[in-house]
Amino acid sequence: MFEDRSGRLPDRRPLKGYGTAVTTGPGGPFLFVGGYGTDNRMLAAGDDGLADVTPDPVRDPLGHAFGVVAADVDADGDEEVYVHNSDAYGGISTERDRLFDRTAVGWRDLFGLPVNAGRENVRAGRSVAAVDRLGTGRYGLLLACYGAPMRFYELGDDGEVTDMAEDVGVDFLTGGRSLVSGPIVTDRTDVFVGNERGPNYLLRNDGGRFTDVADEFDLDAPGEHARGVALVDPDGDGVFDLVVGNWEGANRVFERRDGAFVDVAPAEWAEPTRTRTVLAADFDNDGTCEVFVNAMGAPNRLLRHRDGRWVIGDPGAAAEPRGLGTGATVCDVDGDGTLELLVVHGEIGSQPLSLYAAPNDNGWLRVRPLTEHGAPARNAVVTLRTDRGTQTRLVDGGSGYLCQTEPVAHFGLGGDTAPAATPREVRVRWPDGRERRVEVEGADAETELAVDHPANRDA
């Protein structure tokens, strides 16, 4: 499926990295790549591909970044970037995390403010996820710590960072690896926590406080070692299935049926591999999401949905059989409607970043829902109705495993072998439960549509 576009990267120098996330800013998206003992990097579209636009305040050259996530935590309309640093495998680290905030005069680390002295995180861990637990458009940040209790950070108007983990019921002592946030068992923002050396958690959102119900749905899997996870709706029914990749263990595709989760993974997919990040996106714009698995020291893998079932696909150049994959993200870097796949490597050796895409002539439509503050509405659900059926996408809150994709619902419309589907209506459901429908029949399909929160339209 994929062809190599790594020549569009600003350089191919080997580096060690883990987490990567996509945020937005003036002029388009930024890809933030956390450095492990080297500079963090910010990449953006340039004249001949991607350019390195990293501002000095976010480089943190001595930090050891794991999870990276972007979200509007201060309700100012712009996303902040959280970088989870750790120089310890578990327990307590000697390094502190960073919470980078873009201001009119440049970037700053909110943990560096005097009001946050002693509040910075030094618990070792892996992933971070943005969670709008109350539906206010002001995001909290959930940290999957390892050998230490999880944290849930929220930000006050004065920039004060507060750990709300105990108050919201998530202060579990875990071997935390992965996180994915979205409407899993409620219509609000729930969280799946993939753990190692212990049961997974399924955190049901009960009005802003969370209850672990993993055992009720047989998702706890205490004998497995979760890594990448993703939410995907292959049939457009608005009910998300859960893809769980385990480290050297069986890989799962949990389909939601009659309130239960049933594993429908094909036998070849279920075979153990060295899974890291799992991503769901419509890379070839055919109208159906694929699932990409980034692996460490093993070939990367691709899963496709065809005729109502999952089948193994060919990742093409992105197989990277000798790759030391640690993380990956998805973004339409250049605005041409074809998604790019950025793969990060590291851990046991330094390797260059890789960039891939699946070239196609299919149609597409992109929808960017906004919070009432004007920031990307992560955790929102977007449904597109066309003359051929419906598709549903979740705006990624993160982190799957260490990483986070762009805050856009990307829809392929097909067209290679038959006329492209015609968009009829877009429906957005925000984490507060409010919805908005937008008629798009007759509009240009190959465009990106921003959808304001209903509170702004009602004002």
pLDDT band at residue 458 using 50, 70 and 90 as cut-offs: low
Average pLDDT over residues 346-360: 95
Identify which of 393, 342, 343, 341 has the alpha carbon closest to the alpha carbon of residue 364. Answer: 393
Which residues make Cβ contacts (< 8 Å) with residue 2, sequence separation at least 6? Answer: 283, 315, 316, 317, 318, 341, 356, 357, 358
Structure tokens that stand for 451 in this block: 């959808």
Whether pLDDT at 445 is above 90:
no
All structural domains of the chain with their residue ranges: 3-364
How many Å apart are CA 72 and CA 64, to the nearest integer? Answer: 23
Q: What was the pLDDT predicted at 442?
A: 73
Structure tokens that stand for 123 in this block: 């618990």
Task: Find out whether 331 and 342 touch, Cβ atoms under 8 Å.
Answer: yes
Backbone angles phi, psi at 168, to 5 degrees: -100, 0
CB atoms within 10 A of CB 125: 28
How many Å apart are CA 336 and CA 303, to the nearest integer? Answer: 24
Structure tokens that stand for 423 in this block: 């968009």
Q: What was the pLDDT predicted at 418?
A: 72
Residue-wise pLDDT for 184-204, tens only, equals 999 999 999 999 989 999 999
Number of DSSP helices (H) and strands (E) in the chain, helices first: 3, 36
Q: What was the pLDDT predicted at 46?
A: 87
Residue-wise pLDDT for 285-339, tens only, equals 999 999 999 999 999 999 999 999 999 999 999 999 999 999 999 999 999 999 9
CB atoms within 10 A of CB 173: 12
Identify which of 362, 325, 369 has the alpha carbon closest to the alpha carbon of residue 343. Answer: 325
N- to C-terminal Cα distance for the chain?
A: 46
Q: What was the pLDDT predicted at 100?
A: 97
Per the DSSP assignment, residues forming a β-bridge with 20 are 33
Which residues make Cβ contacts (< 8 Å) with residue 171, sequence separation at least 6? Answer: 149, 150, 151, 152, 165
- Angle (CA) 292-298-301 rounded to 5° is 20
Q: What was the pLDDT predicted at 215?
A: 96
Burial class (CB in 10 A: 0-12, 13-18, 19+), 326: buried
- Angle (CA) 112-329-182 rounded to 5° is 80
Per the DSSP assignment, residues forming a β-bridge with 263 are 254
What is the pLDDT of the chain when averaged over all its residues? 95
Whether pLDDT at 273 is above 90:
yes
Q: What was the pLDDT predicted at 259?
A: 87
Whether pLDDT at 459 is above 70:
no
CB atoms within 10 A of CB 133: 28
Identify which of 302, 311, 401 has the alpha carbon closest to the alpha carbon of residue 358. Answer: 302
Per CATH, the number for 3-364 is 2.130.10.10
Average pLDDT over residues 2-20: 96
Average pLDDT over residues 372-401: 95
* Cα torsion angle, 393, 397, 400, 404, sign: positive
Average pLDDT over residues 39-66: 94
List C-alpha distances in Å: 62 to 16, 121, 135, 141, 210: 12, 16, 36, 23, 35
Average pLDDT over residues 386-415: 95
Q: What was the pLDDT predicted at 26?
A: 76
Cα torsion through 210, 211, 217, 223, rounded to 10 = 100
User: DSSP state, 240?
Assistant: -
Helix, strand, coil % in the chain, rounded to nearest 5: 5, 50, 45
pTM here?
0.96
Whether pLDDT at 25 is above 90:
no
CB atoms within 10 A of CB 91: 14
How many Å apart are CA 270 and CA 251, to the nearest integer? Answer: 4
Residue-wise pLDDT for 222-267, tens only, equals 999 999 999 999 999 999 999 999 999 999 999 999 889 999 999 9
Per the DSSP assignment, residues forming a β-bridge with 345 are 325
Give me the percent of the chain exceeding a pLDDT of 90. 91
Residue-wise pLDDT for 105-138, tens only, equals 999 999 999 999 999 999 999 999 999 999 999 9
Average pLDDT over residues 7-26: 94
